[in-house]
Amino acid sequence: MKKLVLSMSAAAFMLVALVSCKGGGSDPKSVAIAFMDAIKSKDFDGAAKYATKDSKAALDMMKSAMKMAEAFGGKGGDMDIDKEWKGKKVEYSEPKIEGDNATVSLMVDGKEQMPISLKKEDGGWKVAFDKNTLMKQGVDKVKESTEDMPKMEDLNGMTDSLKKAMEEAGPALDSLKKVMDQK
């Protein structure tokens, strides 16, 4: 009986180790954190373990860019996330899960820096770091940043109000000029 329990424990341990080495996981937040830790370390092969298959091209491109920067005398380019975030509070939100998609927000000092998109792939969560996902995030960020900007019809109304105020101020400015000229 002891041998059976020992064998089952060893099998369970090996199964957990196998799943852990494969990358991905059952919790989107822990996958996002592991992915970002690998990116911060410039371990793009390690990051690939937590990314979708479609993300390989983007990660390979980042890896090549780092190598090129080092070849030209740099230390892997300007991507020094640890230095940039040093002394700042880095947090990850709880995941928002919608079917086979999830989003975890990366926040620095309470401000959202970027959403991390994840997809279910091969039975586990993986970070979607592919061209289409990154483009969509960029477009969404631009839309978000322009939401507070006045609309064209609002600007036209503001222009009309400003024009009317200037017309009404004209006679008062003329009177003021006459008074100033007399002194």
For residue 134, the Cα-to-chain-centroid distance in whole angstroms is 9
pLDDT, average across residues 89-117? 92
The share of the chain scoring above pLDDT 90, in percent, equals 35
Task: Mark whether 157 and 129 lie in a shared domain.
Answer: no
- 46 Cβ neighbours under 8 A, 6+ residues apart: 38
Q: 97 or 152: which carries more pLDDT confidence?
A: 97
Residue 100 burial by Cβ neighbours in a 10 Å radius (0-12, 13-18, 19+):
exposed
Are 46 and 133 spatial neighbours (Cβ–Cβ below 8 Å)?
Answer: no
The answer to the question of residue 4 being in a domain is: no
What CATH number did the domain enclosing 103 receive? 3.10.450.50
Using the CB atoms, write b or e for 54-64: b if 16+ within 10 Å. bbeebbeebbe
pLDDT, average across residues 86-108? 93
Task: Mark whether 133 and 154 lie in a shared domain.
Answer: no
Helix and strand numbers (H, E) in the chain are: 7, 5
pLDDT of 19 strictly over 60: no
Structural domain boundaries enclosing 34: 23-146
**Residue-wise pLDDT tens digits, 161-172:** 766 666 776 676
Task: Mark whether 109 and 180 lie in a shared domain.
Answer: no
Task: Mark whether 85 and 138 lie in a shared domain.
Answer: yes
Q: Please give the tally of structural domains in the chain.
A: 2
The answer to the question of residue 15 being in a domain is: no
Task: Mark whether 106 and 66 lie in a shared domain.
Answer: yes
The answer to the question of residue 1 being in a domain is: no
